[in-house]
Amino acid sequence: MSSKFDQPLPRENTGAVKYDARQAVFGRNDVIPLWVADMDFAAPQPVVDALTARARHPAYGYTLYPDSVYEAMIGWYAARHGWRIERESILLVPGVVPSLHAAAMAFSAPGDGIIIQPPVYPPFFNAIRKTGRQVIENPLVEDRGGYRMDLEHLDACAAREDARILQLCSPHNPVGRVWNREELVAVLDIARRHALMVVSDEIHCDLVFPDKQPHQMLGRLVSDQDALVTTVAPSKTFNLPGLGLSALVVPNPEHRRALKTVFDSMHMLQCNPFSMTGFEAGYRHGGPWLDELLAYLQHNRDFVVQTVNSDLPGIRAFEPEGCYLVWLDCRGLGMSDRELKAFFVHQAGVGMNPGISFGQQGSGFMRLNLACPRAILETALEQIRQALGRR
């Protein structure tokens, strides 16, 4: 299948973390970079055109968020997810990770506990520890070739006197689960009974494979009085993470005020004219591009999972339902986490994220980013196969 996503996109010497930080991260600058979660694909052409047009205007001063930005976002979530968002519930903010920190500061005090479900995106840990809060771990359970929540243990965690917040990753990074309605209703029931604020990171909500169950926006299942903050952004959807603009959907006015107070205290509500332009163009015009992307990513996923599970002894690939990341179980290789990273980097020439960075539950795993041209994946997996053969 020929696709525009097969076209190479040179990114070296553009300041791209994924490429230009390889020497610092892996100790060599020639590994195939299948790590940090951005895509090796050009952004949708309407986004490029909008940014180009904005750049042609030679004034880049302080900027407001026009009504059209909110309208584009509201229209996207109504059309793609059946989620009706009220304009007043939206806070535009500089990114999802800053929002995790802001939520910790807004809804808990130093020393309070915040629940996470590892293995999970490393900034979840940082947002808790760097704000002086305590990590409460509710680990996911490996089950029948995938993962599930331990809801009984989650209930026990939420019952702790110091528990204030649950940071939910939905879809889950790195294991690729798309939580179903039954699971999310159970989470909300626990949160309500224990007066727990839920901060739901749904940045990957648009990246669900066409052959899997659709993503359930948690915001569709709650009332205005529920304690919920949903984080969303076009950054993963349209490959715009460097533009640094996301949105919080916060139905409760008191909760919105608490978050706004935190952001105001750091003077972090300024608008970048290019972030705003890319945000609106993606949500307004990016749908057809996304549909093509998802079909391509599904072919990549099938290729990676089949190849790993049939040709790479000692490694097992979990088939993700969402995100463009594959969770690789490398425990069969019998290596320590340090040895695993060294093997893939120095023997196979492939740079991936070590599973241990997602929590102790990730020990023995690696995370592979499949959002790149198929030929790159073919080369990377062949290099791993050859390296395994030399052991």
User: Phi and psi for 181 in degrees, rounded to 5?
Assistant: -60, -40
Q: What is the pTM of this model?
A: 0.96
pLDDT of residue 2: 61
User: Phi and psi for 196 in degrees, rounded to 5?
Assistant: -100, 130
**Proportion of the chain above pLDDT 70, given as a percent:** 99
The single-letter code of the amino acid at 240 is L
> From CA 115, how far away is CA 330, in angstroms rounded?
27
Average pLDDT over residues 343-367: 98
pLDDT of residue 223: 82
User: Phi and psi for 166 in degrees, rounded to 5?
Assistant: -110, 125
- What are the pLDDT digits (tens) for 72-124? 999 999 999 999 999 999 999 999 999 999 999 999 999 999 999 999 999 99
- Taking phi over 0 as left and psi of -120 to 50 as alpha, with beta for the rest, 321 belongs to alpha
Domains and CATH numbers, the chain: 4-44+288-389 (3.90.1150.10), 60-285 (3.40.640.10)
Give 26-33's long-range contacts (Cβ < 8 A, gap of 24+): 26/345, 26/351, 27/345, 27/346, 28/345, 28/346, 30/349, 31/345, 31/349, 31/350, 31/351, 32/349, 32/350, 32/351, 32/376, 32/379, 32/380, 32/383, 33/351, 33/369
- What are the pLDDT digits (tens) for 228-264? 999 999 999 999 999 999 999 999 999 999 999 999 9
Among 289, 296, 279, 375, CA closest to 51: 279
Positive or negative, the Cα torsion across 111, 140, 321, 368? positive
pLDDT of residue 268: 75
Q: How confident is residue 267, by pLDDT bands cut at 50, 70 and 90?
A: confident
The single-letter code of the amino acid at 235 is S
Among 172, 113, 166, 167, CA closest to 141: 172
337, pLDDT greater than 90: yes
Residue pair 185/221 in contact by the 8 Å Cβ criterion: yes
Q: How confident is residue 61, by pLDDT bands cut at 50, 70 and 90?
A: very high
